[in-house]
Amino acid sequence: MTSKVSVDLSGAAQTMLTTLYLKALDADFRRPVLADRFAKAAIDRIDYDWADLGITQRWAPLITVRTAQYDIWAAQFLAAHPNSTVIHLGCGLDARVFRLDPGPDVAWFDVDFPEVIALREQIYPTRAGYQLVASSATDPTWLDQIPADRPVLLLAEGISMYLTEHDGVALLQRIVDRFPSGELQIDFYNWFGIRTQKSQTLIRRSGSTLYWAVNDPSEVLNAVRGIRLLAATTLFGASTFAKASRTFRAIKPLLRLAPPVRNTLQYHRYAFGPAAR
Ligand SMILES: C[S@@+](CC[C@H](N)C(=O)[O-])C[C@H]1O[C@@H](n2cnc3c(N)ncnc32)[C@H](O)[C@@H]1O
């Protein structure tokens, strides 16, 4: 029997254990949102007291609705750009590269802190066209490893809020300036999410701090030169929200009169470079 892998993470790096766990719980639902069998296998490989995260299965859609929405957008990008580069920033232990299984002409880079990448290496197999980059996203030098000759998809799920606005905008601008064309698929917390961070179990227990609030795509369009909006939605507006449990969906009408709460979790998609004809 293979021995389990131990983890010792803190701060922002630890938060990916919660997102992984919720995906694994979702995989056991009769009607899963994401059905991520890789997440389920991954948590079985890790020596961790998952109950200690203090989160239960009814909250799984908080994460799986988002991940499933970005899977759809990423699959659309890959269908339109079979010869491209994917940068999956703040990948944590997300198994997107295995779920989407991109074709042979896609170069896929999973990027996260060195301690997260070290854990990833022990959990998931390698595959052709797939590389791990162990670096903070805000260190400008990691991008030098990524060939800049093809359209790029920067997919940054669940990471923007851990960056300062200054670092986040600089990072997006570096991507836009380096590649000939591509997409930025990135989610944000609005001001309400940042202000109420101490009440969020995932954040409080990890000891991490959230910084960057984005309330609306116009803020990103004004801050990053050369991008255009393709789509923007929220947890409650995402097409994948319809797959959440009835109990979870029941929250939506209750938030009708509370727009800052309803719009806390923002999912954005931008393009840059020449528009496809
Ligand atoms: C909430 S988890 C999301 C993980 C994964 N994207 C998912 O959706 O399951 C946040 C991830 O962002 C990573 N992260 C946060 N700040 C980072 C930084 N400055 N550089 C690289 N990774 C970072 C953390 O290590 C963690 O893996």
Q: Is the CB of 116 under 6 A from ligand 1?
A: yes
For a ligand 1 pocket test, name from 159, 161, 163, 212 the mutation site with the most ligand atoms within 8 angstroms of its C-beta: 159
- The answer to whether residue 158 is domain-embedded is yes
Q: What integer pLDDT is reported at residue 256 of this predicted model? A: 81
User: Dihedrals φ, ψ of 110, to 5°?
Assistant: -95, 125
pLDDT at 12: 86
Judge whether 76 lies within some domain.
Answer: yes
Cα–Cα distance between 270 and 222 in angstroms, integer? 13
| Atom 12 of ligand 1, nearest CA residue | 90
Using CA atoms, how far apart are residues 82 and 151, in angstroms rounded to an integer? 10
The dihedrals phi and psi of 208, each to the nearest 5 degrees, come to: -90, 165
Q: Which atom of ligand 1 is nearest to the CA of 167?
A: 19
Q: What is the pLDDT of residue 160?
A: 98
Q: For each of the chain's 277 residues, which pLDDT tens digit applies?
A: 578 999 988 888 889 999 999 999 999 999 999 999 999 999 999 999 998 888 889 999 999 999 999 999 999 999 999 999 999 999 999 999 999 999 999 999 999 999 999 999 999 999 999 999 999 999 999 999 999 999 999 999 999 999 999 999 999 999 999 999 999 999 999 999 999 998 888 788 888 899 999 999 999 999 999 999 999 999 999 999 999 999 999 999 888 878 889 999 999 999 999 986 5
- Going from the Cα of 35 to the center of ligand 1, the distance in angstroms, rounded, reads 21
Q: Which of 68, 58, 53 is nearest to 16 (CA)?
A: 53
With a 6 Å cutoff on the Cβ, whether 186 touches ligand 1 is: no
The CB density around residue 87, as the number of other CB atoms within 10 Å, is 24
E strand spans, 113-159: 130-134, 152-156
Atom of ligand 1 nearest to the CA of 116: 25
Q: Report how far ligand 1's centroid is from the alpha carbon of 158 (Å).
A: 6
Residue 253, CA atoms < 13 Å, CB-side half-sphere: 3
Cα(94) to ligand 1 centroid in Å equals 10
Q: Measure the CA–CA gap between 244 and 248, rounded to whole angstroms.
A: 6
Is 105 part of any domain?
Answer: yes
33 found inside a domain: yes
Minimum CA distance residue for ligand 1 atom 2: 16
Question: What secondary structure letter does DSSP report for 101?
Answer: -
Q: Which amino acid is at 247?
A: T
Cβ of 42 closer than 6 Å to ligand 1, yes or no, is no
Determine the pLDDT at residue 21. 96
pLDDT for the residue 276? 64
Residue in 112, 135, 210 to alter for ligand 1 test, most ligand atoms within 8 A of Cβ: 112
Q: 171: CA distance to ligand 1 center in Å?
A: 14
Q: Which backbone phi and psi does 67 adopt, to 5 degrees?
A: -60, -40
Whether residue 277 lies inside any domain: the answer is: no
Q: What is the CATH number of the domain that holds 222?
A: 3.40.50.150
Q: Residue 235 falls within a domain, yes or no? A: yes
Q: Of 113, 160, 171, 200, which is best to mutate to test ligand 1, by the most ligand atoms within 8 angstroms of its C-beta?
A: 113
Which residues constitute the domain of residue 108?
A: 5-272
* Nearest Cα residue to atom 23 of ligand 1: 90
Provide the CA 149 distance to its chain's centre, in angstroms: 24
- Give how many domains the chain has, as a whole number: 1
